[in-house]
Structure 1
Amino acid sequence: MLYPPEASAGKNGFFYFHDNCLFNDCSNLQKNIVIPPELEEEILPSLQIQTKEEMKYIVWILCVWVLSLPLQAQSYNDVVEQAMDCVKKDSLVQAERLFRQALKMEPDNARNALLFSNLGTVQKRMGKTDEAIESYTLALNIIPYSTTMLLNRAALYLEKDLMQKAYLDYCNVIDLLPKNLEARLFRAYIYMQRREYKEARVDYNVVLEQDVKNKTARIGIIMLDEKEGRHQSAMDAMNLLVSDYPRDVSILRMRANMEWEHGQAEAALFDLDEVLKLDPRDASCYVMKGDICLQQKKKAEAREAYEKALELGVSRAELAEKLKQCK
């Protein structure tokens, strides 16, 4: 990651600044002060300064005082620190205002890339997606190779269904960090949406080379095998996934759907019952159960499943036609 040495990236997506010393060696500064002869002749008598060393000392004090004047007012660093305090307190409106204030105070400060990024993260948390994208873009204009900022912006592009823009950001991250799991997984997802299955498989395999148990990548490979007609390979991988995550309702539901599509209705019903044991309020599971029972001509069981789905919030209009078939 490229950012100034006085800053570090935190796990919450914000960049934190560290204090720097104002002076490295004040004693050397005093010793190295040079008094012009003409100034020495005018000032020494008027101030009743006896020695040249005394004059150097007074000039040094004046220098320190002048240099400290900006610190007496609210400085750029003060405002940034206040903004970060507001972030910690979840006072996001105030944090946003303070970050903007700091950016206006020193528009040419090299650290503004980090402020723009922090501002974007605050705006993202506030639900201001468009403004957050703009802030991350301004940050990337200054630090174009920040993978953290690229990933943050790409996630927002995906949220707005701007697939091509997200794809480009993920590609840029992968160019910089070829083994970045987040970029690989989301780019694979985009490839799947585009039906570019060969490219998606490459990304999923890169992830699995680093993390053989990665659930998202394993599911992706199973979906690819299904789409490419490798049904037995897909089912074998799914069974292994269920054995690794026996209480994951989404995986059990996914296997039930695969079993139903492959004509294994009883196995699908068994998995759906397991899901309902873990999550009795899973309305979609009752709808699927009703569909399988209706296909098997088990109308009473199908109607019972549909009625339960209605109790859990599924609209009657959605199930009206299916309920008619249960009579």
Structure 2
Amino acid sequence: MKRLILSFFAWSTMVASAFSQTYQELSERAFATTEQDSLELAKQYIAQAMKADPANPHNALLFSNLGTIQRRQHQYDQALESYTMALNIAPRAVPVLMNRATLYLELGKEELAKMDYSLVLDLEKDHSEALLMRAYIYMSQRNYKFARADYEHLLKLVPQSYSGRLGLATLEQKEKNTDAALAILNAMLAGQEEPDGLTASQRAVLYVARAGVEQEMNQADLAVLDLEEAIRQDPSQAEAYLMRGQIYLSQKKKGLAKRDFEKAAALGVPRVEVRELLQQCK
């Protein structure tokens, strides 16, 4: 987030004309207090700066920073309004479009987020984060053809992208190309394309993903082994407990299944999602 704010700051200083000293001082104080997490004080400086010079093009940055502060304070409607005001002043500002798209996703407005990511890609066709996020949205909408195009574009730019490769493996699984999905996940776990290695948490996610493919291929024993390894790598992997519990339940191992479902709930899986599963363990 800081990188986006800083890059937009550099952009805005180039397009803005000379600021009045008061306006510039207020803007600098707003930026400094935001960096220090003094968010309420930063909001006050932003409001004072915009009041001092309402027509200043630098206000696009102030609106964007205000939106980020409001988002951090979970004031989502106000943040959306602030990002939109920033874009009214600077409609081609990529960092603001990215911020608003992320906020739209948090609000469950996938179509609006996709529109903003598409605008970014119209401006910067090789923007890797926009490609990744738009591919994710396309996949969630079952528009697999367009999701594949974005993932493949991303992986041409960044062949070692963890998220890009994992996303493509998930897409292959959804399209029932289980062999292709396994090939991607196996390569990632073998570290063939990751010279710096993977974190334990990243490896755990891959083991869970591979277990999901193996489960679809009716290879329950292999799936359980992968889920056990995922838990060993990262004991906080709630999805691993949930999936293993489902396998145990299908094998009539109700005691083991109940234990895993309860662990998944303790790690954050909504109780409503495991309630029926727990009922089946009686």
Superposed counterparts of 1:131-142, under 5 Å: 131-142=78-89
Shift of the alpha carbon at 1:317?
Answer: 3.8
Instruction: Indicate conservation of the 8 Å contact 1:151/1:183, yes or no.
Output: yes
Superposed counterparts of 1:174-253, under 5 Å: 174-244=121-191, 245=198, 247=200, 248-253=203-208
Shift of the alpha carbon at 1:179?
Answer: 0.2
Cα separation, partners in 2 of 1:311 and 1:202, compared to 1, 3 Å: closer
Instruction: Tell me the amino acid that sits aligned with residue 96 of structure 1.
Output: K
Q: Provide the TM-score with structure 2 as the length reference.
A: 0.83
Residue 310 of structure 1: aligned partner = 262
Instruction: Tell me the amino acid that sits aligned with residue 304 of structure 1.
Output: L
Q: Among 31, 45, 65, which residue is 1:84 paired with? A: 31
Distance (whole Å) between structure 2 residues aligned to residue 182 and residue 115 of structure 1: 23
Whichever of the two has the greater Rg, that structure is: 1
Cα separation, partners in 2 of 1:217 and 1:177, compared to 1, 3 Å: same
Q: Residue 13 in 1 paired to residue 30 in 2?
A: no
Structure 1 vs Structure 2 CA RMSD? 2.5
Q: Provide the TM-score with structure 1 as the length reference.
A: 0.72
Residue 295 of structure 1: aligned partner = 250
Superposed counterparts of 1:1-327, under 5 Å: 11=3, 13-14=5-6, 15=9, 75-244=22-191, 245=198, 247=200, 248-297=203-252, 299=253, 302-307=254-259, 309-310=261-262, 313-314=265-266, 317-324=275-282
Shift of the alpha carbon at 1:134?
Answer: 1.2
Distance (whole Å) between structure 1 residues aligned to residue 61 and residue 238 of structure 2: 45
SS in 1 for 2:210: helix
Q: How many residue pairs were aligned?
A: 260
Distance (whole Å) between structure 1 residues aligned to residue 65 and residue 98 of structure 2: 14
Instruction: Indicate conservation of the 8 Å contact 1:238/1:255, yes or no.
Output: yes
Distance (whole Å) between structure 2 residues aligned to residue 93 and residue 129 of structure 1: 16
Shift of the alpha carbon at 1:320?
Answer: 3.3
Distance (whole Å) between structure 2 residues aligned to residue 119 and residue 246 of structure 1: 34
Q: Where in structure 2 are there 5+ consecutive unaligned residues?
A: 192-197
Instruction: Indicate conservation of the 8 Å contact 2:118/2:134, yes or no.
Output: yes
Deviations 1:236-294 (A, max 9, x none): 11211222248421111111121111011111111111122223454543343233233
Cα separation, partners in 2 of 1:11 and 1:296, compared to 1, 3 Å: same
Distance (whole Å) between structure 1 residues aligned to residue 280 and residue 121 of structure 2: 48
Deviations 1:154-207 (A, max 9, x none): 111111111222111111110110000011111111111221111111100110
Distance (whole Å) between structure 1 residues aligned to residue 199 and residue 103 of structure 2: 33
Instruction: Indicate conservation of the 8 Å contact 2:4/2:95, yes or no.
Output: no
Instruction: Tell me the amino acid that sits aligned with residue 219 of structure 2.
Output: Q
Deviations 1:76-123 (A, max 9, x none): 122222222211221101101110111011111222222222222222
Instruction: Indicate conservation of the 8 Å contact 1:123/1:129, yes or no.
Output: yes
Instruction: Indicate conservation of the 8 Å contact 2:211/2:227, yes or no.
Output: yes
Instruction: Indicate conservation of the 8 Å contact 1:290/1:303, yes or no.
Output: no
Instruction: Indicate conservation of the 8 Å contact 1:225/1:234, yes or no.
Output: yes
Higher-helix-fraction structure: 2
Identity, in percent, stands at 38
Shift of the alpha carbon at 1:140?
Answer: 1.1
